[in-house]
């Protein structure tokens, strides 16, 4: 088979397994994006996320992860749920955390896809990731034509908007690369204007001001800064404001992954419920949920704002 035919079959298999989009780029270094990322970290905009201070050489060049790498398969998985939250009498959880943690769902899909690739090309070696390794995921997806990094810094796809998880398989075989995605944000600034904590400037985020960072990454023992606490807008885990206002998300379609469906009892949490919650109930409610990351102490801290 030709390189083009193999690439087509791999993408086709990715869709059959359940991914929403697939694109390919080369394993050439990401020097420009790596320079920007390293400068962003040097300014301290990453806050307490210390893992971002390590492995810069791997982010810059994936061949430092997998020697002999020639291609990167970039994948997107739609997680959108067509549930409209009405009323503001309860606390809010980011849409990506309404159901099962994507780290429970995507790795088995990647494992299956890599096995299928190796059936097609037995000599192929691969490493796969979904937000678990030192990769510039959004830059990879952009260069692979999957979507572009919007002004809110999330990846936007033409077909599905920004409600997508990203994953990658680094491969030692040459595949047919896709043309990079075009930035279609234009003059729109809705995401920048809507952010209540002013965490966003075009194409860059100050994580230390971001509601998602404050409610998830900031450890329970740390206080949310007094200047930002009144601006949390009822969010206790993550934040979707910049995505909710993005015009491209009018193209969103419900995900076909049943595990991402909302857990109804977690959609209308109140301050009183969280105040009464003990560890046993927290563990039951949020089993295999992303919310477990913040721990009960973090959820209580976020609720107290």
d(CA 168, CA 293) in angstroms, rounded, equals: 23
- CA triple 213-194-264, angle to 5 deg: 60
In a domain, 71, yes or no: yes
In a domain, 257, yes or no: no
In a domain, 88, yes or no: no
- CA triple 213-216-221, angle to 5 deg: 105
Domain extent, residue 34, equals 3-82+98-171
Do both 236 and 198 map to the same domain? yes
In a domain, 91, yes or no: no
Non-local (6+) Cβ contacts of 263 within 8 A are 98, 99, 285, 289
Chain centroid offset of residue 280 CA: 29
Do both 207 and 150 map to the same domain? no
d(CA 144, CA 29) in angstroms, rounded, equals: 13
Structure-token pair, residue 193: 């204007």
d(CA 288, CA 199) in angstroms, rounded, equals: 29
* Number of domains the chain contains: 2
In a domain, 48, yes or no: yes
Is residue 305 very low, low, confident or very high in pLDDT (cuts 50, 70, 90)? confident
pLDDT digits (tens, 9 = 90+) for 138-181: 999 999 999 999 999 999 999 999 999 999 999 999 999 999 99
Do both 134 and 232 map to the same domain? no
pLDDT digits (tens, 9 = 90+) for 93-107: 999 999 999 999 999
Is residue 83 very low, low, confident or very high in pLDDT (cuts 50, 70, 90)? confident
Query: How would DSSP label each residue in the chain?
Result: --HHHHHHHHHHHHHHHT-SEEEEEE----HHHHHHHHHHHHTTTTTT-GGGGS-HHHHH-GGGTSTT--EEEEEEEE---------SSS-EE-GGGSSS-HHHHHHHHHHHHHHHHHHHSTT--EEEESSSSS--HHHHHHHTTS-EE-TTSSEEBTTTBT-EEEEEEEESS---PPPPPPP--TT--HHHHH-TT--EETTEE-GGG-HHIIIIIS-TTSPPPTTTGGG-TTEEE---HHHHT-GGGGG----S-GGGS--GGGTT--HHHHHH--HHHHHHHTTTSGGGGGHHHHHHHHHT-
In a domain, 93, yes or no: no
Last-in-domain residue among 110, 144, 171: 171
In a domain, 269, yes or no: yes
Across all residues in the chain, what is the average pLDDT?
A: 96
- What is the percent of the chain with per-residue pLDDT over 90, rounded to a whole number? 94
Is residue 279 very low, low, confident or very high in pLDDT (cuts 50, 70, 90)? very high
User: What phi and psi values does residue 73 have, to the nearest 5 degrees?
Assistant: -95, 120
In a domain, 61, yes or no: yes
Do both 165 and 59 map to the same domain? yes
pLDDT digits (tens, 9 = 90+) for 281-303: 999 999 999 999 999 999 999 99
Do both 149 and 237 map to the same domain? no
So what's the pLDDT on residue 87? 55
CA torsion through residues 85, 266, 75, 210, sign: positive
Is residue 82 very low, low, confident or very high in pLDDT (cuts 50, 70, 90)? confident
d(CA 24, CA 140) in angstroms, rounded, equals: 9
Q: Which residue has 């030709």 as its token pair?
A: 2
Instruction: Provide the annotated active-site residues.
Output: 131
Specify whether the backbone of 198 is left (phi greater than 0), alpha (psi in -120 to 50) or beta.
left
């Amino acid at each position: 088979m030709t390189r083009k035919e193999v690439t087509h079959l791999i993408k086709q298999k990715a869709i059959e397994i359940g991914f929403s989009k697939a694109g390919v780029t080369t394993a050439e270094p990401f020097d420009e994006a790596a320079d920007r990322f390293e400068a962003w970290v040097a300014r301290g905009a990453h806050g307490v996320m210390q893992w971002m201070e390590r492995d810069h050489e791997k982010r810059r060049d994936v061949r430092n992860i997998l020697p002999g790498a020639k291609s990167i398969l970039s994948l997107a998985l739609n997680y959108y749920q067509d549930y409209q939250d009405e009323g503001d009498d309860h606390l809010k959880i980011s849409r990506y955390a309404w159901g099962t943690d994507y780290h429970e769902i995507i790795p088995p899909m990647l494992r299956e896809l890599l096995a299928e690739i190796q059936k097609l090309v037995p000599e192929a070696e691969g490493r796969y990731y979904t937000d678990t390794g030192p990769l510039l995921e959004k830059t990879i997806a952009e260069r692979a034509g999957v979507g572009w990094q919007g002004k809110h810094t999330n990846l936007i796809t033409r077909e599905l908007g920004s409600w997508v998880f990203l994953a990658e398989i680094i491969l030692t075989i040459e595949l047919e690369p896709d043309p990079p995605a075009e930035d279609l944000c234009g003059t729109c600034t809705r995401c920048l204007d809507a952010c209540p904590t002013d965490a966003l400037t075009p194409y860059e985020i100050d994580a230390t001001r971001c509601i998602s960072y404050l409610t998830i990454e900031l450890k329970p023992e740390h206080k949310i800064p007094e200047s930002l606490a009144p601006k949390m807008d009822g969010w206790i885990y993550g934040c979707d404001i910049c995505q909710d206002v993005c015009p491209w998300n009018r193209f969103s379609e419900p995900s076909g992954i049943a595990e991402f469906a909302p857990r109804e009892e977690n959609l209308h949490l109140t301050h009183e419920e969280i105040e009464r919650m003990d560890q046993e109930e927290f563990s039951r409610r949020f089993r295999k949920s992303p919310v477990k990351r913040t721990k009960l102490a973090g959820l209580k801290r976020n609720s107290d704002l």
